[in-house]
Amino acid sequence: MKKIVVASMRKNAGKTSVIVGIAKALHEKIGYMKPFGDRLFYRKKRLWDYDSALITHIFNLEENPEEMSIGFDPSKLRYMYDTESIKKKLHEVISKIGKDKATVFVEGGKDIGYGISVNLDAISLAQFIDGKLLIVISGDDDTILDDINLFKKCLHMTNINFGGVIVNKVRDVQDFKDIYLPGIMDMGIKVIGIIPSREELTHFSVNYLAERLLAKVITGEGGLRNTVKTILIGAMSPSTALSTPGFHEGNKVVITGGDRSDMILAALETDTAGIILTGNILPPQNIISKASERNVPLLSVPLDTYQTAKQIENIEPLLTKDDADKIVLWEQLVQEYLNVTEIRKD
């Protein structure tokens, strides 16, 4: 059983998506765990990580997502484990999850240092389970170089099985190879993949938005799978909005106050994927009926428009179990831009 620890220097680098792409490309039985969960779901007294549930679903894993994480909050880990007992627990889980599997992916926390105080940071994980460490890096070119330099320094201080760096979401792969790759190679850092950014991977559905915002769906359930490409704030007058070219573009979500019937109607007159009503204020029934007729979801949130926009700004376009196209695209990207053979090596 190969053990691959996938970590990132910063959050939202795309670790889970890269794992999905690699696992698909490997065409072998895989296992997965995320010891220190950070995308928590709690339902009916069950606690699991979003990524664990996603990978369980995509790969039809038999294990329960709840078993794939040891903890979610440092308070629990400090309360229940010391260094030795956490190592023991980690081995217990990995032997159970890895049974009859060719490869087990162990995903690190949101960044390289996340969980270090409770011995569940990515480097500790790689050391404890003797796994191969892959680092996913993304960002602008300077950030990528900074992160690679920082990681090189960490590498000097540790004794780990380093598998290489995967540079993700790169705007121009050839440019990156020409300009930066030689310098990185000179530093002695192995780069096993440079994956280009794809706009379609940044889109998400209205349903995803509703779940992330903990919004109440007032109507238009049939439109929840609409794809969201742009977000507009409907603060202006309807006539101004309707004279703005962007307002007529499809796949947009409009954020406006629940009492802005005029703006809601203006949005319903154009091609709109969904409308977020802020301040927990519901529009009159005739407006709700109109949205229902047009199958445009109305999402009600308690926050004001500014806070809602801020929350949306922070939403990562994570993969979901319904994103079949994105999953296929990730497999293609991995096969085309990543050295899968290098990963296959034990």
The contact set with another protein (CB under 8 A) reads 38, 40, 42, 45-47, 71-73, 75-76, 78-80, 214, 258, 279-284, 302
Which residue, 75 or 289, is less far from another protein as judged by CB?
A: 75
Helix axes 122-129, 83-97, angle to 10 degrees: 70
For another protein, the closer of residues 79 and 142 by Cβ is: 79
CB of 81 to another protein, least distance (A): 12
Q: Smallest distance from the beta carbon of 149 to another protein, in angstroms?
A: 30
Query: 22 vs 33, which CB is nearer to another protein?
Result: 33
Q: Which is nearer to another protein, 79 or 153 (CB)?
A: 79
253 — alpha (psi -120 to 50), left (phi > 0) or beta?
beta
Q: Minimum distance between the CB of residue 259 and another protein, rounded to whole angstroms? A: 8
- Minimum distance from residue 118 beta carbon to another protein (Å): 12
Given the complex with another protein, which of 150 and 281 has the nearer CB atom? Answer: 281
For the CB of residue 298, give the shortest distance to another protein in the complex, in Å: 13
- What contacts 19, CB < 8 A, 6 or more positions away? 6, 32, 55, 105, 107
73 or 130: CB nearest another protein: 73
CB of 214 to another protein, least distance (A): 6
Euclidean distance between CA atoms 273 and 244, whole angstroms: 17
The 3-state DSSP class for residue 256 equals strand
105: left (phi over 0), alpha (psi -120 to 50) or beta: beta
**Cα four-point dihedral sign 308, 309, 314, 320:** positive
Backbone angles phi, psi at 119, to 5 degrees: 60, 30
Q: How many CB atoms lie within 10 A of CB 24?
A: 18
